Amino acid sequence: MQSVAESERGTEDAAQSVDEAAAVAAAPSAAEKAASKSRAHTADFLRVLLFTGVVIAHAVNSINTSPDVIRSANLVGTLLHLTRYGFVAVTLFVLVLSTRGRSMSPLAFWRRRFGLVVAPYLVWTITYAITDHVVIDGNPFPSPGSFLGVLGHDIVTGEGKYQLYFLLISMQIYLFFPAISWLLDRTTQRPWHVLGGAAAIQMAMFVLYQYVPRPSGHAWDVAFDNLWKTLPMYALFVTIGALAAVHHEAVERQLRAHAMSIVAACLVGTAFSVGAYVVATSPGNVPLQSNTPWNPLLLPWLISGLIMLWMLAMLWNDRRSANKRAAAGAVQYATFRAFGVFAVHPLALDVLARVGFFDDLNDWFPHSAAVRTTVLVAVTLAASLVMVDIALRTPMSRWLVARSRVPIRRKRNDTPATPEPAAASAQVASSGQL
């Protein structure tokens, strides 16, 4: 689960999607601008849902490990593998939407995008290399040579913390995005061919990891341990996000016109994946293969869940457009801090475990895993938001949370620190579940 993660301004993808998509035409109409902004709001809301799912997944796995709850807890965690694939799709959606019709050389694109994902990745990898030994009980610092060796390995493989690998995936998305754009330009009239090819690659990767025996030999071990962090493991969702942006009007029109039928089909897909998990497990017994993120039997849920979340985001955006200010303000606030929460929430969980909060929750709610998890998620989110707001006010803000520094005190005439939702879209997808 992962995941995770998203760096943009470079990273401010959906933010850029408003201003940059408007530049597609020499003189875009007001309707075109409004449509682009609306789609950015929808992507903002979906990212907030996915980031919340990342925190829930890691909280569930942190506190619900006893035999009596392991089956239900792992089902939640298994379904929340959706976050990593959803992040890939949303990242491609906002990238394509923000660059479609604009001329930009690969070098210019890479210069613009890579900086803000690389810096947070390195800073948080180093941070967790230290805090894992300071905060986690029974994990003393090794020798300097061993520490540096592990740190170097973590930087290369994305294993500094369980969510950081997703920033490696983000870097690959940026690296190959010029090629993806080139392919999209040449297959505009053949989206189903592209989608079918991507589905074949996706299924091949799932089958390889789920059913093919692990290869022998050190070199093969290293490759097998890290191949799942490469784009082929996410090929279908790369394609879904990119094609949804290219054909966004037709996609949204079909989702609205056939909403009931689509939701019904998605519920059938969800029931299939949940049923497959239930059949493969029993109380107190959850085989590893039953809850892997690349189980082919999970794929119907991954697609169905993404579609239903997008439809929910569209519904929210419709309500936001009807002047539901409270809902818009909450998403605006969360969007601005989303990447920071993605980056810092494992540290919040480590601190809570170290001070005994996990044990307290088990004592307070011994018979209710749902209550334990809900309380832990709420406290973790609150603690993460506090840390993010502190980071936003430091000179390291851009490196820590991929946002410009927010002044501790603003003059009366200063503009608010949090921009409009579309202009504040979460930058790095990062994460995921990452």
What is the DSSP secondary-structure string of 366-404? TT-HHHHHHHHHHHHHHHHHHHHHHHHTSTTHHHHHSSP
- 214 secondary structure, DSSP code: P
| b/e per residue 328-342 (b: at least 16 CB within 10 A) | beebbebbbbbbbbb
What span, in angstroms and rounded, lies between the C-alpha atoms of 77 and 75?
Answer: 5
Length of the chain: 434
Listed residue (396, 376, 399) closest to 60, CA to CA: 376
Q: Which of 169, 194, 199, 165 is nearest to 180 (CA)?
A: 194
Cα 206 to Cα 299: distance, rounded to the nearest angstrom: 9
Q: Please, are residues 161 and 124 in contact by the beta-carbon 8 Å criterion?
A: yes
Q: Spell out, as residue ranges, where the chain has pLDDT lower than 70.
A: 1-39, 321-327, 410-434
The predicted structure's pLDDT at residue 238: 97
Of 157, 154, 119, nearest in space to 133 by CA: 154
Token pair, residue 395, equals 């000179």
First to last CA, the chain: 5
Question: What are the structure tokens assigned to 251, written together?
Answer: 């996609």
Per DSSP, the three-state class of 102 is coil
Whole-model pTM: value is: 0.84
Q: Whose CA is closest to 229, among 175, 166, 174?
A: 166
Tokens of 356: 């005994």
Q: Token match 């230290």: residue?
A: 130
**Alpha carbons 242 and 237: distance in angstroms, whole number:** 8
